[in-house]
Amino acid sequence: MSAEVFTEHVIVWLGPVPLTRTMATSVATSLFLWGALAPVGRAVARAPEGRLAAAGRLMYRFLRDLVTETVGHPSRGLEVFSGSLFLFIAGASLLGQLPGFAPPTTNLAATSALAALVFLAVPFAGIRARGLAGYVKRYFQPSPLLFPLHLVSELSRTLALALRLFGNMMSGHLIVALIVALVGLLVPVPLMALDLLIGLLQAYIFTILASVYIGAAIRVGEEEGA
Amino acid sequence: MSPAFTNFLFEAVNFLVLAAVLGWLLFKPIRRALDAEQARHAQEAEAARHQREEAEAVSRAARAEREAAGRESEERRRALLASARDEALQAAEAAKRVQVEDRRRLEKELQDWRDASAAELVDTIGRIAAESVRRLLAALDGPALDLALVRAACAELASVPAEARAPASVESARPLDARARGLLEEVLGAGVRERVVTALGAGVRVTTPAGQVDATALSVARQAARAVNPPRDASGASLEGADA
Amino acid sequence: MSEHTILALVSIITAGLTMALGAIGAAFGESRIGAAGMDALARQPDEAGAITRNQFVALAMVESTAIFCLVIALVLLFANPLLPAR
């Protein structure tokens, strides 16, 4: 049993730059998503009929409804961002069921990177939608005294995003690894199914939370006006 | 560089690249397809709404037309009914008129027929009466009849003024006997011209300047027939009077 | 018993305690969220989408505490800064 919970397995050092296993799995996940979803996009563009195209449109409509409800109006950038987040996390969880494949989301650095992207996307989207003053005003909203609390909230929720994803994925992965080490055949299957379910659920939760955070930054002025 | 930090940076870049790729290859075509579909749906809905409005307008026009046609046909029907009633009334009137005329004509024909038969009856009766008188006179024929007739003629002549009596001519059926001549001379005086006309049957006919006194069997029979069948004018007035 | 052995022993025990105690609060909180979500669903079935989404968000928030406990337990077990690297 290899207990690489916080350590990182470096495959090869390219000079000063290490090439880690997480990097490899994330690239593999990206390539898998690309290969799996590019035909969907082509199918939708070529012919609106067919199962692939129907699945793609269904998914996109679901995503658009989600974003529209969160933000208050359709937002292309947030659609792409949230959709990619969901697809990446879910795809990683799916690939994680392959034997010997540790999904990149079991790495704390990877989940921290995703959370950091969400953290950065919040002011980006807020400033783009409301302007710098309109966005910054949000931090002083009910009272200027709450500015530190806002900051702490931003940081802590980012930390929570990263740790939640990492903890869920890693716990599932660890449990499956433990059972595999103990029994081996067929017994880990239900736990793997649970792991897969948790992975998809976490992808959904991560996506929703990211949408809610970014959407709140976008619609700050609207709430003020309401 | 520590592996964790490299991981961190690499993951961020990897995810951004993935998002860009997916946005380009997956989300954009789907969004375009959905938007195009939505636009098409909106267009179709608009077209459908337009068509429905047109159809409603057409149906409204058709309804109005139908109502107008119904009104027109109603009027035509009413007019037809009225004219038919008029025609029926006129026909009834004409029929009544024809009937009345027929009745009148029939009555007239009946009347004519009645008149004709009555006239024929009267003629027949007159003929019968004349014939029977003639037969009666023929049965009575003889000197006595002649004498009676002469006496009747004399009685009639006596009413004529004496100066108007002569000259007179006497026609008789048979030669006058002495007693008859005597009677006549007593009335007419002497110088009576006598002539025998057998056709008179019996009796005498005396012609004076004042007039003719006819006391022959022929004239008696004629008078008898005339009494039964008085002479009529063309309008048959005497007949109506006889009827009344 | 060396100092490291005692430290390792305490770390393992503490990791178990952390997980157990941390799970209690999260379990109670999540059960209440689930009950409230069911109640809301029964009252307003039309709002199922919004209710489910917000319920998941709230669950994730509450679960965060348990996950933090899990991470701490993992740190104690696998990345204990007080123990020398194996």
Q: What pLDDT, in 10s, does the model give residues C52-71?
A: 878 887 887 888 888 889 88
Reference B39, options B31, B28, B49, B29; nearest CA is B31
Q: Does C82 fall in a domain?
A: no
Q: What does the pLDDT look like over B9-28, one tens digit per residue?
A: 999 999 999 999 988 888 88
Q: ipTM of this complex > 0.90?
A: no
Domain that holds residue C28: 3-77
CB count within 10 Å of CB B128 equals 12
**Measured between beta carbons, which residues in chain A are less than 8 angstroms from residue B3?**
8, 10, 18, 20
Q: Does C35 fall in a domain?
A: yes
The span from the CA of A80 to the CA of C72, in Å, is 34
Q: Does C19 fall in a domain?
A: yes
| Closest by Cβ to A117, choosing from B10, B15, B33 | B15
pLDDT at position A221, please?
53
CATH, residue C59 = 1.20.20.10
| Closest by Cβ to C64, choosing from A3, A66, A160 | A160
Q: Does C7 fall in a domain?
A: yes
Which is more confident, A5 or A78? A78
**Measured between beta carbons, which residues in chain C are less than 8 angstroms from residue A163?**
64, 67-68, 71
- Cα B57 from chain centroid (whole Å): 61
Best mutation site among A5, A37, A84 for testing chain B: the one with the most B CBs within 10 Å? Answer: A84
Position B244 pLDDT exceeds 50 = no
SS3 assignment, position A59: helix
Beta bridge partners of B214: B205
Q: What does the pLDDT look like over B75-131, one tens digit per residue?
A: 999 999 999 999 999 999 999 999 999 999 999 999 999 899 988 888 888 888 888
Position A7 pLDDT exceeds 80 = no
Contact B7, A4 (CB under 8 A): no
The ranges assigned to domains in chain A are 10-225
pLDDT at position B155, please?
82
In the DSSP assignment, the letter for residue C85 is P
Which residue on chain C is closest to A213 by alpha carbon? C57
A6 and C63 in contact by Cβ < 8 A?
no
B33 and A57 in contact by Cβ < 8 A?
yes
Q: Does C86 fall in a domain?
A: no
Do you find a cis peptide bond into A39, omega within 30 degrees of 0? no
pLDDT at position A42, please?
86
Domain count, chain C: 1
Position B233 pLDDT exceeds 60 = no
The arithmetic mean of pLDDT across residues B66-79, rounded, is: 94
**Measured between beta carbons, which residues in chain C are less than 8 angstroms from residue A201?**
56
Which residues does A113 contact at the CB level (< 8 Å), separation at least 6? B7, B8, B9, B10, B11, B12, B15
pLDDT at position B240, please?
44
CA distance B50 to chain A (A): 27
Q: What does the pLDDT look like over A77-128, one tens digit per residue?
A: 899 999 999 999 999 999 988 888 889 999 889 999 999 999 999 999 888 8
**∠C70-C71-C73 over CA atoms, to 5°?**
65
Which band of pLDDT confidence, cut at 50, 70 and 90, is reported for residue B46? very high
The span from the CA of A174 to the CA of A188, in Å, is 11
